[in-house]
Amino acid sequence: MAAVRILGLDPGLRRTGWGVITIEGARLAHVAHGVIAPKDSLPFSERLLVLFEAISALVAEHSPDEAAVEETFMNNNAASALKLGHARAMALVAPARAGLPVAEYAATVVKKAVVGTGGADKDQVAFMIARLLPAASGVTADAADALAVAIAHAHARTARSLAARTPARRVA
């Protein structure tokens, strides 16, 4: 089975975390991680452009096979949620434009895949990323979340692959 390279994205207008991993069989490996942080002083449209171009550059540099994006958490501030939605759109469109399949995962699904509970906090996620990907040293919370999204996708794609290979049982 060939290694599959996955780009995980944790979108945000101020800070978009990203992480690249490979999965080969059951083995996960860290490739790279970081944070895209457009300047707050830029106009909104230019901040979105920075996100789009930076994510596009990551796709070109790391050649992922697939991408995974964390779904937005809805809060009570409609204006903030809308702006976050725009940032999330950049995280979806940039890899899709490069021809990559893009999966989406709820934050609770991501946390459960990495920590074992959907209610885990950022410190617990970062702790588990350090255990699962020892080469990802010094990872920030945003990059840890992005790596967690990539890991959740790796687990989900493995589960789908196993389910597809398992013959259905006939029920009498």
Confirm if 103 and 153 have CB atoms less than 8 A apart.
yes
Task: Supply the residues annotated as catalytic.
Answer: 10, 70, 142
Q: Give me the residue label for tokens 């970081």.
A: 34
E strand spans, the chain: 4-10, 16-24, 27-36, 66-70, 102-105
Contacts of 79 (CB under 8 A, 6+ apart): none
Cα(101)–Cα(22) distance, integer angstroms = 15
Helices within 9-121 (DSSP H only): 44-62, 78-97, 107-114
Q: Is 115 helix (H, G, I), strand (E, B) or coil?
A: coil
